[in-house]
Amino acid sequence: MAGRVEGKVALVTGAARGQGRSHALRLAQEGADIIAVDLAGQIDSVPYAMSTPADLDETVRQVEALDRRIVARQADVRDFSALSTAVDEGVAELGGLDIVSANAGIFSFGTLDALTDEEWNDMIAVNLTGVWHTVKSAIPHLRANGGGSVILTSSTAGLLAIENIGHYVSAKHGVVGLMKTAALELARDGIRVNSVHPTSVDTDMIQNAATYALFAPDLPPDERTKDVLAPRFQAMNVLPVPWVEPVDISNAVLWLASDEARYVTGLELKVDAGQTLK
């Protein structure tokens, strides 16, 4: 049986690890070739170690192990020129563009009165402007293709107010507005645009000392372990899980990318273990 996205080309940003790598692999498993883009570097305001060139190389290795083609580029989604060059090169090598997963994102913390300008500006630049840059860089190629599917990674924080991450909430709410506007503007071109809204996902973005400190300020650092923190994460969800796995989000991305969702556009697809019901 042919894969659900057989013969298609997918752009994935933030592809070096975490959800991005998972999305690239899941789409490749179902027949897509991949344009993988990642900063593969550190942003000073981010309180955990970000991905590296070695991580991006590992994504390449895993996609190639599935016998799919992949073009990988280091580029910053904040830099439209660099990003669009990476996308153009990938399209030129792989022959087109059908699917876009605008996944690249960062996370940091602080109450609104304590956030620095750097923390606010970096968050908006990566998590909102970077998503717009990704869509903008892809539109000419999707139009030339006669249509396609664009999936923007938002969050439950794109639908809820959450303390201590007001800059993240603002950016992720902005992604919803971007998604809905793009869905309207691009429908005539046969381009569908949707967003996915995960609860906490078991990746390095939450499994780090800085996030653990936010969730457990009452505990000494040496007691802030994944197992100890799990019940506190689980308290945010309705289903009895502390977090979902990257592949759970990848399966949603795959469905939205596939012809099974051919008439789905403008949708906020929650993969949230019921968090938004609270």
Supply 8's token pair.
């298609």
Cα-based torsion angle of the residue sequence 110, 206, 20, 76 in order, rounded to the nearest 10 degrees = 30
Three-state secondary structure call for residue 196: strand
What is the spatial distance between Cα 259 and Cα 57, in angstroms, rounded to a whole number?
A: 30
Can you say whether the dihedral through the CA atoms of 110, 202, 178, 36 is positive or negative? positive
**Contact (Cβ atoms closer than 8 angstroms) between residue 16 and residue 51:** yes
Look at the block and give the residue holding tokens 């989000």.
249
For CA atoms 211, 212, 214, 215, the dihedral sign is positive
Among 48, 168, 212, 263, the active-site one is 168
- CA–CA gap between residue 87 and residue 182 (Å, rounded): 19
32 in Cβ contact with 68 (< 8 Å): yes
Residue 212 annotated to the active site? no
CA–CA gap between residue 232 and residue 215 (Å, rounded): 7
State whether the Cα torsion 80-254-238-228 is positive or negative.
Answer: negative
For the annotated catalytic residues, the residue numbers are 168
